[in-house]
Amino acid sequence: MYHHIKKLMYTVNVGEPDARFGKMLLEQFGGANGELAAAMQYSIQGLNCDDPGLKDLLMDIGTEELSHLEVIGTLARMHLKPTKTSRAAADADPLIAICGGGGVSLYNSAGNAWTADYLKITGELDVDLRSNIAAEARAKIVYERLIDFCDDTGSKDALQFLMTREITHMKAFMTALAAMEKPPLAVGLIKPSPKIVDQYFNTSTGTGDQGERDLLAPWNDESSVERIDAPAFQMFADPHLGTRKAEPIDGPDLTPPTEDAAQPVQTDHAAAAARKKSSARGKAS
């Protein structure tokens, strides 16, 4: 059972309404990674859940997301209100202006109606927790982008609050997954086929227009996997592939990537992103 208190979880103040920014905000109201999607995904997982501890967790966070829906909706409403009376504002979002009279509805930033196709609910608890961790990560980055495009202090405060809570939830779901003490690749009960599971299929080869190429990396080097280059052109060596009668044919140029090409430079990825971002901001302003 639900009860509603007429107080926002975070008070929303808006200086100058910005209808185009209001349209962007709808992404977190009625969009794919928005608050309704979060509220419904967790609450319905909770409704289906037989484990009392996880059910409690899912209902706690699912309910909090309903309160977030109210906050982001109120914020978007404030920015979109002028679409009722100003033609210029209405041009920023004709659907809200003409259909909603300046009021919000469950659309995303392109005016698409919210759909339950956004939800990921399987009823397998560890799987659902992984979907939730990913959902929170997506919601976090979307809020960050909204903050990046926002000039209004009050709006930024509310967005910062909502963004922060996604991290809180992400951590809670990660902790819950860890508490299940399942091996990370143990999904369900049926075991994967032993040899095939350790084969990495290198199905994309050659050199791209920007110099993209095969690289050796932890996920595809021979330390942990058997690398199968261009399987479309190879006979499968493994009899577990069974009834398959594939004949060997001459394949494409598959000279293995050299060792010195190895190790993509992901380690400084965050720093690189930061550099790119701040330089971009420089350019944008």
| C-alpha closest to that of 166 among 191, 138, 193 | 138
Distance CA 96, CA 17 (A): 15
- What Å distances lie between residue 205 and 85, 104, 136, 219, 250, CA to CA? 57, 48, 34, 16, 15
Residue among 16 and 204 whose Cβ is closer to a copy of itself: 204
Footprint of a copy of itself on 12-31 (CB under 8 A): 12-13, 20, 23-24, 27, 30-31
Beta carbon of residue 45, minimum distance to a copy of itself (angstroms, whole number): 8
Distance CA 233, CA 248 (A): 7
Footprint of a copy of itself on 218-247 (CB under 8 A): 218-220, 224-225, 230-233, 241-247
Beta carbon of residue 222, minimum distance to a copy of itself (angstroms, whole number): 13
Beta bridge partners of 200: 227
Give yes or no for residue 118 binding a copy of itself (CB under 8 A). yes
Give yes or no for residue 78 binding a copy of itself (CB under 8 A). no
Residue among 185 and 259 whose Cβ is closer to a copy of itself: 185
Q: What three-state secondary structure class fits 107?
A: strand
Footprint of a copy of itself on 132-161 (CB under 8 A): 133-134, 137-138, 140-142, 144-147, 149, 154, 157, 160-161
Distance CA 239, CA 225 (A): 18
How many residues interact with a copy of itself (rule CB under 8 A)? Answer: 186
